[in-house]
Amino acid sequence: MIIRESHNLQAELAVLEKLISQVPEPNVIDRMSLEARKKEVAEALSVQQIPYYEPVRVQLTFRGKPIVKSYGIYTEFAASILDKFADMVAAIGASQNVPLGMRGVIPNREHYQLIVTGTTSGSFGFELEEAPRDEILISPVKAAIEQSMSIMGSAVGSDDDLADAIAEVNPRAIEALRTFLGAMVDHEALCALDMEEKQFKFDDVGQVRITNERLSQDNIHEDDKEILGMFQGVLPTRRNFEFSVKESEEVIAGKVGPEIEDAGKINHVIEKPMKIQVHTRRVGTGQPRYVLFGYEEMTE
């Protein structure tokens, strides 16, 4: 919000300066009015404080066949795995904000750029940092890496744990994660991630292989459904919804997808006959997870 206001004020200031330059000198009243507004805008800009943000830093380290103790890493593996890690971060990050197609350019990919700032000591790896960006309040890279760590950590748990972790993750983002994992499986390597106070690591190559298999299309069952019933409520900030199914009187709960911008509007149609469109995702033999992407009121 602060950034948008700042942009608006800067744009208005530029317009005012142009108008003032075009007003003839004899038009004193017009010039005074424009100069007064210019002063107000300049003062508003001077007191605005754009919150400072610290770029996220992460250590990505490896063990296994491509690693020569703590001395080095084979270049072919290093170049490939860094590229796949960057693709994974961009895909998962973008999927948190916009729907992703299975092909094409990832939206706002430039928001998820990483730079290599050094190598790590001990297990060989890389020190990575979010590329410098102006006018940013929340690190999109941090959120993407956190979700990546959450998915990989949940994949060694139950089907329901993994289903919760990937409930809102776009299939393309999951595939990007599998590509990263698959590269490690192919080279018999494993990784660890350390970001601020969060850590994740694989214990062995077998764990990487199992994680990759559990994220495969054969283990993740997806479907789009239309369900009749009534909304019981929505938490707009958390984007959680509850819906009473007409056929079974069961109450299902899930997330409101990015296709619905204002989740709070749903609270205006509580307990009215509705038809909703949901995307369901079930991992293995676990319970389905629901993501709402459309709804319409039913007329009698």
pLDDT in tens, 35-61: 888 888 887 767 655 555 678 899 999
Res 288: pLDDT: 92
* Spatial CA neighbour of 256 closest among 279, 226, 227: 279
Res 7: pLDDT: 58
Res 1: pLDDT: 42
Highest mean pLDDT among 138-152, 176-190, 238-252: 176-190
pLDDT at 116 over 90: yes
* Spatial CA neighbour of 294 closest among 267, 238, 256: 256
> Which band of pLDDT confidence, cut at 50, 70 and 90, is reported for residue 24?
confident
Res 137: pLDDT: 60
Centroid of chain to Cα 67: 31
CA atoms of 242 and 232, how far apart (whole Å): 5
CA atoms of 175 and 95, how far apart (whole Å): 12
* Spatial CA neighbour of 116 closest among 108, 124, 127, 104: 127
pLDDT at 289 over 60: yes
> Which band of pLDDT confidence, cut at 50, 70 and 90, is reported for residue 27?
confident
Q: To 10 degrees, what angle do helices 28-47 and 2-22 make?
A: 160
- The average pLDDT across 237-254 equals 92
CA atoms of 254 and 31, how far apart (whole Å): 58
Q: What is the DSSP letter of 169?
A: -
Which range is least confidently modeled, 83-87, 92-96, 134-138, 278-282? 134-138
- The average pLDDT across 234-245 equals 92
pLDDT at 2 over 60: no
Q: Which residues contact 218 (CB under 8 A, 6 or more apart)?
A: none
Structure tokens at 3: 């950034």
- At 99-113, the pLDDT tens digits run 677 777 888 888 899
Res 44: pLDDT: 77
Q: For residues 193 and 59, is the Cβ–Cβ distance under 8 A?
A: yes
Average pLDDT, the chain: 87
Which range is least confidently modeled, 20-24, 36-40, 123-127? 20-24
Q: Which residues contact 70 (CB under 8 A, 6 or more apart)?
A: 121, 122, 123, 124
Return the CA Rg of the chain: 25
Which range is least confidently modeled, 56-65, 111-120, 133-142, 236-245? 133-142
> Which band of pLDDT confidence, cut at 50, 70 and 90, is reported for residue 135?
low
